[in-house]
A and B are shown apart, each in its own frame.
Chain A
Amino acid sequence: MKKLIIIFTAVIVLVTSVYFAYSYFASFSTVTFNLAEGVKEIKVYKNSDDETGDTVVATLQSSGEVRINNGNYYVTPSGDNIVNDNISIKITGNISIDIDPDYNSDYLTKLADIESGKIAEVINRSLTPAIENYDIEQVKVYNKADWAGVLLLPKDIDIQNPSGIHRVVLKKEGDSWIVVGLPQIVMTAYNTKNVPLDVLKSVNDLVF
């Protein structure tokens, strides 16, 4: 009888231990971070639910794997010419995450200056003959300098009482720019498809 009790107790302890061991290991995932060119370092922070504050759980200087507990995290990238905005991630299982932040505004301004000639040429070629009645007022590039927004002002615009201002989006494919859709008074997800919403919003914010 004593033997039976010992065996029974041992089984209970074993089952409990296996359950906890399984629960513990199942709560971890392997996360592969792929760092884009220009990203020198990332810090992975675990979101804190209490006053202890967010804690760094991993720091990577190149692409690699990290094994972390499932949950909510955010990544802060740093490097040359990139925005350092936090990137929220939710880990529920093994996953591969590309860290490819957009360029920062200073760098985008420089690139816009470099690209503006090419962009103007494409607009003039693609939107003929209507473009003859418009001036290209502003050229901005967005994200990874793979999107551009341009303000088109009617040549006969009355500055005191403006009308007829249009906006146009361009996409860079390889080394070439292409006009996406038609110029519009206001860009929407419906009249200019397959363009990131943040780009459309930025183009709508262009003012002269």
Chain B
Amino acid sequence: MLRNRFKAITISLIVAVLIIVIAMVYGGVKNQGKVSIKLLSVPEDAQIKINNVRFSAGDISLAPGSYKVEASKQGFDNFSYTTNISDKTGQTILVLLNPNTPETEKWANDNAELYTDLENIAGEQASNQGSDYQKKNPIVADLPYSNYLFTIGYRTDPSDLSGDSIIIDIIASPYRREEAVQQIRNMGYDPVNYKINFDNYRNPFSK
């Protein structure tokens, strides 16, 4: 009799544990293939979109791949870059908006330590990941490009201390500049995303 009771208890315990385990496994399966990412932002309440999906700063889950990160907030410069998420844990997506009004500049000065912290994390990330031109600037795989009308080259952007940004240099006569820009599109890249310098060009509208 007593043995039967113990049997019943054991079975009910096993069933209860099994149900909880199944529920937890199901929860895990839903996030399978995704890695936990820390999304950090200054200011913290910036509107952040990753591949056009809104996110808030905090812990998020993303599948490995390339993601376009965009952020905005009134009074701050828009922020946009593309980042690659690998299957490694401990990755961070950083959003840092620069102020562009006297009010937000004051806010940034009052909260300078937030910017410093994020810049330190960015620096650590850069040194961890190494300066990998090809990954961050896939266009360099197709450059330099040259034909009898124009040449498209690139160089490191000295204003980016990380050393990962580039400037596209176009050497072309004034009649061929648009064609050179079109060639960038033909290669599969959007010129809107690059710093472009035309050789022997001075903007006629600059004073």
Contacts and interface: CB of A to CB of B under 8 A. Distances in A.
Interface of A: 1-2, 5, 8-9, 12-13, 15-16, 19-20, 23, 72, 88-90, 92-93, 95, 97, 127, 130-131, 133, 161-166, 182-191, 193-194, 196-197, 200-201, 204
A161 B174 CA distance: 10
Given A12-B12, A194-B78, A196-B78, A130 B205 contact: yes
Interface of B: 2, 5, 8-9, 12-13, 16, 19-20, 23, 27, 52-56, 60, 77-78, 80, 100, 173-175, 177-178, 181, 190-196, 198, 201, 203-206
24 contacts: A1-B2, A2-B5, A9-B8, A89-B54, A90-B53, A90-B54, A92-B55, A130-B204, A130-B205, A163-B174, A163-B177, A164-B204, A184-B203, A185-B178, A186-B192, A188-B193, A188-B195, A188-B196, A189-B192, A190-B195, A197-B80, A197-B192, A201-B190, A204-B181
A15 B91 CA distance: 35
B12 A204 contact: no
Given A88-B52, A166-B204, A188-B193, 12 more contacts: A9-B9, A12-B13, A20-B23, A130-B205, A165-B178, A166-B205, A185-B181, A188-B194, A188-B196, A189-B80, A190-B194, A201-B190
Contact of A12 (B16, B77, B177): B16
Contacts, number: 101
Contact of A5 (B5, B195, B203): B5
Contacts of A90: 53-55
B20 A16 contact: yes
A15 B196 contact: no
Given A9-B9, A9-B12, A200 B192 contact: yes
Nearest to B5: A5
A2 B109 CA distance: 69
B55 A162 contact: no
> How would you classify the secondary structure of chain B's contact residues: helix, strand, loop or mixed?
mixed
Given A1-B5, A130-B204, A166-B205, A189 B174 contact: no
Contacts of A12: 12-13, 16
B198 A8 contact: no
A72 to B, nearest CB: 8
> How would you classify the secondary structure of chain A's contact residues: helix, strand, loop or mixed?
mixed
Given A90-B53, A166-B205, A188 B191 contact: yes
Contacts of B100: 194
A69 to B, nearest CB: 12
Contacts of B19: 16, 20
A12 B52 CA distance: 44
A88 B27 CA distance: 23
A8 B203 contact: no
A193 B192 CA distance: 11
Among A72, A88, A186, A201, max chain B CB count under 10 A is at: A186
A185 B5 contact: no
Contact of B16 (A15, A72, A97, A127): A15
Among B52, B175, B203, max chain A CB count under 10 A is at: B203
A182 B207 CA distance: 10
B21 to A, nearest CB: 11
A191 B80 CA distance: 14
Nearest to B16: A12
A196 B72 CA distance: 10
A5 to B, nearest CB: 5
A193 B77 contact: yes
A186 B16 contact: no
Given A9-B12, A188-B192, A188-B193, A183 B23 contact: no
Contacts of A19: 20, 23
Among B19, B54, B56, max chain A CB count under 10 A is at: B54
B23 A8 contact: no
